[in-house]
Structure 1
């Protein structure tokens, strides 16, 4: 007989299972099919996945029913088989689990953060149908997962609590801001759900370990009830039409201990995780002794009012940008510095403008602004670029992503740049929208990065995307992105050559943290006839270093750098981060005139210091050459 699940959470950390859908895809099953239908057509495969997770150390497994509701199954013509699919899934899981492993009936979000045309009444009907089918079989709990807004979660929890006294696990998918899509803080949402009958509260999907951990840390310590955590295996990279996840099993296991310290009593994995990730988690927690949950903080019982932050308008001096040579001209003559400063995620531009002003005074040659990087919504880089140009007199270099605009919007956007006198752009693919702060948003991708470069060149010829004449030639200087942090550098250079053939005028690289790689990049690109701006981003802390290395696509840190940053935080971490960046600059400036500095977390003082270092070193070098 299985022990009481509620009592188990009080005394130990329970290991959950990992991903089903992405793991089935990894095993060779097509993305275009209903994985839930496999409960009927391939029960042997589903049971084998369950067994792999159990063998890895999972003591609670989920039924293969995340999308087994009327609304989602109807897309495959399976809406009449909701009960059969869910009951089969629960039987398969129980057969795999045997008498000693817990089984949770998985119920996924229906709206999924999107503004889909599903009424509350329809949601209740769909949840009832799925939950009733699961509860006719031998499940130990229901797990409501990947919910983005509190309203839908409350509807699902209400139906679950109406139907069963079994434990209910409620998991949100949130970004690092820690708010639901309908505006509630996680602490507020958790307080409401606890009062309405949830047994366990937590997070899954959407974020890797670092993103979920940052939200948990803002809860200010463990709560007086168990938490659950099922992260993705880091942020996904989109490579050749596939989503690739970078967090290793070892890193996942290390994070599991931190999650437990923050009050997690159920820890598993979501998208991108495998039995190896679960095995590492089980090993890391084998001897873990959790603290008593009675020592945790109580959740709020009354909603705090959601405050609206007032914004202060920053009125500049309206200075126009100087008519100076473009950066391609400059970099042929001397060391040229581009600094990236992220637009704010709110309506307060004061710190951004202060940073831009400080960087202008430090002598940067261009300020580059990303286009909602990592698919996180930020203020328009067009608007801020215009202000930087007119108020501070600093050249803006604006990223433009393929993700957010169709062909119409992309041309319109570029025409707007031309009207504002913004002529330096960087063409990028853009991170998939589903991993940003608005996961229900569409990723457009009407154009690839190669195509958008060609289209911008076409505007320079005075021709619209449609082929019609524009009565004016644009004058864009077009950059392309280059990721050298790859296993086969020669393959990456071949891709870069295609971007140059498409019309790129200069290259900006992802941040590099290895002096030897800097030299290798120079050797591998020596035959190219356009300038390269070598990317360097100073590290802000030890956690920042681990996050970049383990979770952010396209960034790799040497073990020596990670060791130097280990455990560092605050001013000390930033100081060592600048020191490491200066050492990288010593090598970079020997091989590249173009330097691309990225500002971490709006700590523009760090990139100001590095800009000054480039200028001092460049002047010293010029002085030495003149004496020789």
Structure 2
């Protein structure tokens, strides 16, 4: 009779299996499908993969259930099959492992490194649903793998411990810096999971043997539990439309004993590994006898603390108070001016200077609005700040940049001293001027707000310390032109909970809506900048009303604009804008003017009207 799993790793190094997902990809199964569904539709394929790993020397087999939770399966319409897929996964693995092998139920991170909108309550339900099925099928233990932050893996571990006292293996996905996304050093993360009842703590995915070796080395002096390591087969390369991994099976064999010497009691492989990699690990560890793990004294747990930037290391920043502070004292006007679609910035800079002279408190620049390619708002924002002395407020869309590009972009803003930003989802790329381009959407608007505010804590998106803190003031977009304003406000509350410092609305053309909006948001404790965009012509009015998402004109406004073009259309647009400002300035200190078609003179007229009705006297320097 085989010993239980805890006894097994006390006396030997257990050989784990290798990748399932990337191995199936190598076998010809395409990306974009649920590999977990194959437990039901192609059980013989999954069973064959497991048997290949067993034949290569694997003693510990993971079930093919990494993403078999409600949230992940719902993306394929399979949320009702959580139970079936997990039960089948255990049975297939058990048959392949045989009488002498061990089977652990694989449970992956649901958030997967993103600050998603999945609540703690939902996470608990999803983990409990999957874990209950795995445990009911008689697994030998649970493997929690590829977790990026302490909060989520701690929650998952707590759910396991409510259901069973079986062994639990906890694995983080970290870079060689060995720090979690939520700012814990690996040593502190290790201590937390030890206290929560983890039996084995280790690493998988995200990096190859060298990176995981360095992460494991950071646990020296605190490790009193067995470790597990499942490295990737190096860094993936994308060649001729395929992902390829370069770390050879022989290299994995060479790294096996050093891993074991550092305390690893389970050694397998993650992305890119194959039965050949596992065979080399098994061969290298044949006859290896592990040393006992040391006794370790408990230590205090601290999250990372980032120092404030030293004097002289800070970028040039405006001495003016932030817009959030300014709008509490007086009417404050943000004016939007679209970056040009060509390489000539002459008119743009002339418009920015005119708006500055008229008393604009900030110039806001969209991020390729309507998915139309325009000049970089970062470059123009810097020029506006440096040449004209007007504060830039830069939009940043989730559409165009992945997590890497977004953090890089934000770091560039910080270096330039641009600290006011507006986080937006961004219109889908296929509706813009380059319909063949892809929309990235690595993040939702909620997530991008959270992650930008994380930079203010001195923590990179990856969890790495940034040596100093950013100072971003982050805005959230809001569309009040909806049928159910209460639902829109509830969504806005979530953005505020994510860290939004202020709100900028889509343009409003109904005075009564402005009043309702004030009433619906009176309980919010952050300022709202109400959007006013003067109409340039009758055709412009009809286009906005009928074709642009998030904009709705009243019948009365459309009737007044009907048939008007040129100067007559712009004059009526300004007049309607002033009437809206009569109401808006009574209820909101924040005004957000949007300039149509580079007609910045219209925005100047409306801004001067705000100062007139609010009684603000501008310094002669503005004229």
TM-score, with length taken from structure 1: 0.52
Compared CA separation, residues 175 and 409, structure 1 to 2 (3 A): farther
For the residue of structure 2 that corresponds to 1:37, the secondary structure is: helix
1:14 Cα deviation after fit: 0.6
Compared CA separation, residues 120 and 431, structure 1 to 2 (3 A): closer
Is contact 1:175–1:211 with CA below 8 Å preserved after alignment?
yes
Counterpart mapping for 1:257-336 below 5 A: 257-293=257-293, 295-298=294-297, 300=299, 302-304=300-302, 306-314=304-312
Q: Name 2:132's counterpart in structure 1.
A: 132
Is contact 2:230–2:269 with CA below 8 Å preserved after alignment?
yes
Counterpart mapping for 1:507-526 below 5 A: none
Counterpart mapping for 1:566-577 below 5 A: none
For the residue of structure 2 that corresponds to 1:170, the secondary structure is: strand
1:420 Cα deviation after fit: 11
Compared CA separation, residues 23 and 251, structure 1 to 2 (3 A): same
How many angstroms apart in 2 are the aligned matches of 1:74 and 1:16? 29
For the residue of structure 2 that corresponds to 1:238, the secondary structure is: strand
Counterpart mapping for 1:128-167 below 5 A: 128-167=128-167
Is contact 2:184–2:303 with CA below 8 Å preserved after alignment?
no
Q: Name 1:49's counterpart in structure 2.
A: 49
For the residue of structure 2 that corresponds to 1:68, the secondary structure is: coil
Is contact 1:63–1:93 with CA below 8 Å preserved after alignment?
yes
How many angstroms apart in 2 are the aligned matches of 1:123 and 1:28? 33
How many angstroms apart in 2 are the aligned matches of 1:236 and 1:432? 17
How many angstroms apart in 2 are the aligned matches of 1:83 and 1:407? 45
How many angstroms apart in 2 are the aligned matches of 1:437 and 1:87? 40
Is contact 1:234–1:246 with CA below 8 Å preserved after alignment?
yes
For the residue of structure 1 that corresponds to 2:286, the secondary structure is: coil
How many angstroms apart in 2 are the aligned matches of 1:246 and 1:139? 33
Structure 1 residues 551-608: Cα deviation after superposition (integer angstroms, max 9, x where no partner): xxxxxxxxxxxxxxxxxxxxxxxxxxxxxxxxxxxxxxxxxxxxxxxxxxxxxxxxxx
Is contact 2:18–2:275 with CA below 8 Å preserved after alignment?
yes
**Which structure: larger Rg?**
2
RMSD: 3.5
Compared CA separation, residues 180 and 410, structure 1 to 2 (3 A): farther
For the residue of structure 2 that corresponds to 1:36, the secondary structure is: helix
Q: Name 1:190's counterpart in structure 2.
A: 190
Structure 1 residues 150-170: Cα deviation after superposition (integer angstroms, max 9, x where no partner): 111111001101111110011
1:417 Cα deviation after fit: 8.5
Counterpart mapping for 1:181-580 below 5 A: 181-221=181-221, 223-293=223-293, 295-298=294-297, 300=299, 302-304=300-302, 306-314=304-312, 411-413=376-378
Structure 1 residues 116-162: Cα deviation after superposition (integer angstroms, max 9, x where no partner): 22111111111111011111112100000111111111110011011
1:236 Cα deviation after fit: 1.4
How many angstroms apart in 2 are the aligned matches of 1:28 and 1:193? 38
For the residue of structure 1 that corresponds to 2:151, the secondary structure is: helix
Compared CA separation, residues 20 and 311, structure 1 to 2 (3 A): same
How many angstroms apart in 1 are the aligned matches of 2:136 and 2:205? 27
Is contact 1:225–1:296 with CA below 8 Å preserved after alignment?
no
Compared CA separation, residues 88 and 194, structure 1 to 2 (3 A): same
Q: Which moved more, 1:33-42 or 1:255-264?
A: 255-264
Is contact 2:15–2:266 with CA below 8 Å preserved after alignment?
yes
1:304 Cα deviation after fit: 2.9
1:243 Cα deviation after fit: 2.3
How many angstroms apart in 1 are the aligned matches of 2:58 and 2:401? 32
1:312 Cα deviation after fit: 2.5
Compared CA separation, residues 231 and 117, structure 1 to 2 (3 A): same
Structure 1 residues 508-562: Cα deviation after superposition (integer angstroms, max 9, x where no partner): xxxxxxxxxxxxxxxxxxxxxxxxxxxxxxxxxxxxxxxxxxxxxxxxxxxxxxx
For the residue of structure 2 that corresponds to 1:145, the secondary structure is: strand
Q: Name 2:582's counterpart in structure 1.
A: none
Compared CA separation, residues 283 and 78, structure 1 to 2 (3 A): same
**Structure 1: any 5+ residue segments left out of the alignment?**
319-405, 422-429, 439-443, 456-628
1:223 Cα deviation after fit: 1.7
1:412 Cα deviation after fit: 3.3
How many angstroms apart in 2 are the aligned matches of 1:410 and 1:171? 44
Is contact 2:176–2:215 with CA below 8 Å preserved after alignment?
yes
1:18 Cα deviation after fit: 0.5
Is contact 2:185–2:303 with CA below 8 Å preserved after alignment?
no
Structure 1 residues 430-460: Cα deviation after superposition (integer angstroms, max 9, x where no partner): 998589999xxxxx9x99xxxx9xx9xxxxx
1:21 Cα deviation after fit: 0.4
Q: Name 2:91's counterpart in structure 1.
A: 91
How many angstroms apart in 2 are the aligned matches of 1:222 and 1:292? 14
Is contact 1:207–1:435 with CA below 8 Å preserved after alignment?
no
Q: Name 2:82's counterpart in structure 1.
A: 82
Compared CA separation, residues 69 and 292, structure 1 to 2 (3 A): same
Compared CA separation, residues 110 and 307, structure 1 to 2 (3 A): same
1:297 Cα deviation after fit: 3.4
1:280 Cα deviation after fit: 1.0
Is contact 1:13–1:266 with CA below 8 Å preserved after alignment?
yes
Is contact 1:224–1:298 with CA below 8 Å preserved after alignment?
no
